[in-house]
Structure 1
């Protein structure tokens, strides 16, 4: 019984140290943040620090995070995530591979 009583605080301490020492959660690339419009004008994309809103007739805001060259979105924490691969990103142009492999160019 003493071993179990001692293990609980030790496990708690290990989890606390691990959570404090891990990397910050996927920081947003500041070049992504802003309002974008597709080349054909059919889709608007608004990216903030916390939300990814795609408006192609029905605006939907999703949570998102970025890992390397991929944007992962989810609606209210749902999984699996929707993936958008960034092909090109600069101050005025964003090119994304959609989940269905369509390539869409956006500009500011």
Structure 2
């Protein structure tokens, strides 16, 4: 009887660990290559990197929480926050940390 409880407890812990480690799927609409409406800025979002090219491309790791995109250069903090507004298949509006809004197109 004690072995059964031990096996059940170990199985439950294993299931919880596997469920916690499973990464959430990135928003498929967000991934891809984007360019600003004025063609001055290029943006590429992959499953792991946020690459903003305003003359020199800089790859940063990122994660999303709700409609906010948090970027981090080489794991440093504090995170840079970008607000995602009006995300569609072919366009999106991104609000920069300084409250500047930029429209990106595919």
Shorter-chain TM-score: what band?
0.7 to 0.9
Structure 2 unaligned runs (5+)? Answer: 1-9
| TM-score normalised by length of structure 2 | 0.80
**Count of residue correspondences:** 96
Counterparts of residues 23-34 of structure 1 (less than 5 Å):
24-34=22-32
Alignment partner, residue 46 of structure 1:
44
SS at match of 1:76: helix
Sort the Cα spacing of 1:85 and 1:23 in 2 relative to 1 into closer, same or farther, 3 A: farther
Sort the Cα spacing of 1:26 and 1:85 in 2 relative to 1 into closer, same or farther, 3 A: farther
Structure 1 unaligned runs (5+)? Answer: 1-12
- Runs of 4 or more, structure 1, over 2 Å off, are 15-27
Compute the displacement of 1:17 (Å). 7.5
